[in-house]
Structure 1
Amino acid sequence: MASKLSENGIYEGSRLILPEHREAYLAQEELQRRRGKPVLDEQEMQLIEEAILESYQDCRSVTLTVFNPFDDEDIRGVVASIDKPNRRIKLVRADEDYSWIRIEEITAALL
């Protein structure tokens, strides 16, 4: 006969997890999945800026990949405004919704 202190006895089988501990554990797991922002070289940044400028001048649609610590986001739209002092652009989507995107957060641009 097994002891009550081992092999899933009384003490082993009566473990509880408090909701606060579970939330803290899940938050810690979420932080560990974060990833760092990729470092772009000068040529890649120049290609991104050229695609943004071409979209602005010709009113062409562009797909931007915006960095997110957990999952990158692809946004498609037309560049409506360029804010040079703050280094951000105003991207208007098909449903007339717009968003301001910082140029430093863009990791790729496709026309």
Structure 2
Amino acid sequence: MASKLTANGVYEGSRIILPEHREAYLVQEALQRRRGKPTLDEQEMQLIEDAIFESYQECKSITLTVFNPFDDEVLRGVVTSIDKPNRQIKLVRGEEDYSFIKIEEIINASI
């Protein structure tokens, strides 16, 4: 007779994963896929700020790439407000759809 400890016996055949352990594993795996924010030099920041200011002054549509640790977000709209003390902008994307974006989180801007 074969031992219960080997050859798909009691211990080898009773492998189960608790839902709590599965969730913790998935959270840990997602954290490992997290990326760091790229550093922009002063010239790139100046180009981003110039594009934002041009969109604000001339009411032109602008495309912004906003940093996200997992996947960058591309937003398109018109800059309607610039909050200098808090360094954020208000980007209007439709009739009632708008968002406030911190300038430090923008990694690319084009008109």
- TM class by shorter chain equals over 0.9
- Kindly report which structure 2 residues correspond to 1:74-93, keeping only aligned pairs within 5 A, or say none: 74-93=74-93
Deviations 1:52-105 (A, max 9, x none): 000000000000000001000000000000000000000000343111000000
Paired residues in the alignment total 111
- Kindly report which structure 2 residues correspond to 1:6-85, keeping only aligned pairs within 5 A, or say none: 6-85=6-85
Code of the aligned partner of 1:31: L
With normalisation by structure 2, the TM-score equals 0.93
- The SS at the match of 2:77 is strand
Identity rate, percent = 78
- The SS at the match of 2:37 is coil
Deviations 1:5-62 (A, max 9, x none): 2233321111111111111111111111111100001111011000000000000000
- The SS at the match of 2:21 is helix
In angstroms, what is the RMSD of aligned CA positions? 1.3
More moved, 52-61 vs 86-95 = 86-95
Q: Which runs of 5+ in 2 are unaligned?
A: none
CA distance in 1, matches of 2:63, 2:2: 64
- The SS at the match of 1:15 is coil
CA distance in 2, matches of 1:2, 1:58: 82
- The SS at the match of 1:76 is strand
Code of the aligned partner of 2:60: R
Provide runs of 4+ in structure 1 moved above 2 Å. Answer: 1-4, 6-10
Code of the aligned partner of 1:91: L
CA distance in 1, matches of 2:2, 2:75: 61
CA distance in 1, matches of 2:85, 2:76: 24
